[in-house]
């Protein structure tokens, strides 16, 4: 089973053009580590559908996973704390303080300026300190304009409980083999650095 871990955020855009009208539906998420599982080998479309359903459920309950910090849940009434914890984002609230993964592939779709900054400023440091860190850079097309970036597939960290496979494999294959998936959009350079340092083994 594969889980979608904290700080999670996913965007799925569906364009429906009818009689000259454009309807846009966007879904994005960040999911806590105790939430939902999916069957191994799910396609990217199924993955997106599961995350979209998760986001809609949280928003219907009054929580926006994209911006909800787990620390906020502690100050809310007890009657909504369980739902809040289900929808909040924080890799720091993982149920184990020990290193959880053997390796990771950072999938760079170009959607996260903070990820570009991380690789420019911190990438070499993290790769020198930690084992099993790989980068897969995808050309998602569509240009660099604000509109194109809005509907771009989010950048990800794919986590593995063994040495990660070759980054040359397809994203669908890499995602199917991962034990957890974390979306990076909305995270800062510092968030990305600290997450990788905290959850990967030392060299």
Domain residue extents for the chain: 2-199
Closest CA to 199 of 131, 112, 121: 131
Could you tell me the pLDDT band of residue 77, with boundaries at 50, 70 and 90?
confident
Are 7 and 18 a contacting pair, CB within 8 Å?
no
Q: Which residue has the higher pLDDT, 56 or 52?
A: 56
Q: Which residue has the higher pLDDT, 89 or 33?
A: 89
Task: Among 44-48, 52-56, 195-199, name the one with the lowest average pLDDT.
Answer: 44-48
Are 140 and 152 a contacting pair, CB within 8 Å?
yes
Please determine, for residue 4, whether its predicted confidence score (pLDDT) is greater than 70: no
pTM as predicted: 0.54
Could you tell me the pLDDT band of residue 89, with boundaries at 50, 70 and 90?
low
Cα angle 166, 163, 105; round to 5: 55
């Amino acid at each position: 089973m594969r889980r979608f871990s904290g700080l999670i955020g996913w965007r799925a855009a569906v364009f429906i053009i009818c009689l000259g009208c454009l309807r846009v539906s966007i879904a994005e998420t960040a999911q806590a580590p105790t939430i939902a599982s999916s069957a191994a080998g799910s396609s990217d479309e199924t993955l997106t559908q599961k995350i979209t359903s998760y986001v809609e459920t949280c928003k219907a309950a009054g929580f926006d996973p994209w911006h909800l910090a787990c620390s906020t849940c502690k100050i809310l009434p007890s009657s909504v704390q369980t739902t809040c914890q289900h929808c909040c984002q924080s890799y720091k609230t993982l149920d184990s303080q020990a290193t959880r993964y053997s390796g990771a592939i950072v999938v760079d779709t170009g959607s996260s300026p903070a990820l570009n900054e991380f690789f420019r400023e911190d990438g070499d440091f993290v790769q020198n300190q930690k084992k099993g860190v790989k980068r897969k850079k995808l050309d998602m097309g569509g240009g660099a304009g604000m509109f194109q970036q809005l509907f771009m597939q989010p950048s990800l960290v794919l986590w593995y409980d063994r040495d990660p496979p070759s980054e040359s494999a397809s994203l669908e294959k890499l995602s199917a083999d991962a034990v957890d998936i974390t979306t990076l959009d909305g995270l800062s350079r510092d968030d990305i650095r600290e997450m990788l340092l905290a959850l990967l083994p030392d060299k």
